[in-house]
């Protein structure tokens, strides 16, 4: 059964096509562990579903190389930046990325996974036309990535139960906005039905 948020805000229904989809796992890092832990099982489930459906997986890691490498984020983060090489910058240990396999890591220093990265080029090179977005934070990096994916011509699927942020109001506001004009809402159950059905 679809999560209540999916049913509540869904304006259009569509299933991802595993032949042209990629999974974007956004910033599941130690720095965000308090937000990530409650959705960890759903994130792991979504990753497993996508692996079984042969969908390529791209992980993002938000970090800064130096105290001056932050642009406007420094003004909004109140100095709470994630620096490369620290424990906070690493992917949380429960997530086992296939380092020597097909999984890719995208390093980013702002909300969008597309900004100053080669993500779009990498997706286009393997024929990806759809992205499924999971991770943290729903209303910042996940939402910005989803919106930019849409603007860049990708069909977007946004998880309601494998994304999280600081509170439920911000999470729900993002779901409402994205479902209105940017993304199809999905959850673990709907992905399992659409991607793994015989």
Output the DSSP codes for 90-129: SBPTT----TTTT-EEEEESSS-SSTTSSHHHHHHHTT--
- Residue ranges and CATH numbers for the domains of the chain are 4-196 (3.40.50.850)
Structure token digits, residue 21: 């989809």
Cα 191 to Cα 53: distance, rounded to the nearest angstrom: 10
Compute the average pLDDT of residues 70-91: 78
pLDDT given at position 81: 80
Q: What percent of the chain shows pLDDT beyond 70? A: 90
Higher pLDDT, 46 or 198: 46
pLDDT given at position 90: 95
pLDDT given at position 78: 62
Peptide bond between residue 158 and the one before it cis (omega within 30 degrees of 0): no
- What pLDDT digit, counting tens, does each position of 32-73 carry? 999 999 999 999 999 999 999 999 999 999 988 876 666 667
Q: Are 61 and 135 in contact (CB under 8 A)?
A: no
Cross-strand pairs, 90: none
**Chain centre to alpha carbon of residue 102:** 17
Under DSSP, the state recorded for 66 is: S
- What pLDDT digit, counting tens, does each position of 143-160 carry? 999 999 999 999 999 999
Helix (H, G, I), strand (E, B) or coil at 53: coil
> pLDDT grade, residue 1 (50/70/90)?
very low
- What pLDDT digit, counting tens, does each position of 114-127 carry? 999 999 999 999 99
- Residue ranges with strand state E in the chain: 21-26, 57-62, 104-108, 130-136, 155-164, 184-186
Residues 6+ apart with CB under 8 A from 4: none
Q: Are 141 and 60 in contact (CB under 8 A)?
A: yes
Please say if the pLDDT value at position 107 is more than 80. Answer: yes
pLDDT given at position 2: 46
Cα 81 to Cα 79: distance, rounded to the nearest angstrom: 6
């Amino acid at each position: 059964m679809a999560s209540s948020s999916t049913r509540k805000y869904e304006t259009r229904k569509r299933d991802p096509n595993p032949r042209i989809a990629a999974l974007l796992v956004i910033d599941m890092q130690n720095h965000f562990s308090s937000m990530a832990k409650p959705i960890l099982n759903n994130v792991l489930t979504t990753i497993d579903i996508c692996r079984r459906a042969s969908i390529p997986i791209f992980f993002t890691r938000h970090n800064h190389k130096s105290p001056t490498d932050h642009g406007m984020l420094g003004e909004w983060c109140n100095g709470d930046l994630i620096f490369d090489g620290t424990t906070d910058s690493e992917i949380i240990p429960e997530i086992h990325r296939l380092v020597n396999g097909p999984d890719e890591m995208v390093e980013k220093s702002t909300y969008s996974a597309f900004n100053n990265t080669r993500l779009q080029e990498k997706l286009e090179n393997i024929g990806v036309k759809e992205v499924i977005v999971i991770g943290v934070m729903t209303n910042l990096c996940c939402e910005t990535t989803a919106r930019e994916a849409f603007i860049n011509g990708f069909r977007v699927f946004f998880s309601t139960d494998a994304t999280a942020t600081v509170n439920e109001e911000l999470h729900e506001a993002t779901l409402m906005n994205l479902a209105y004009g940017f993304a199809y809402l999905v959850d673990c159950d709907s992905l399992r039905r659409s991607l793994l059905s015989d």
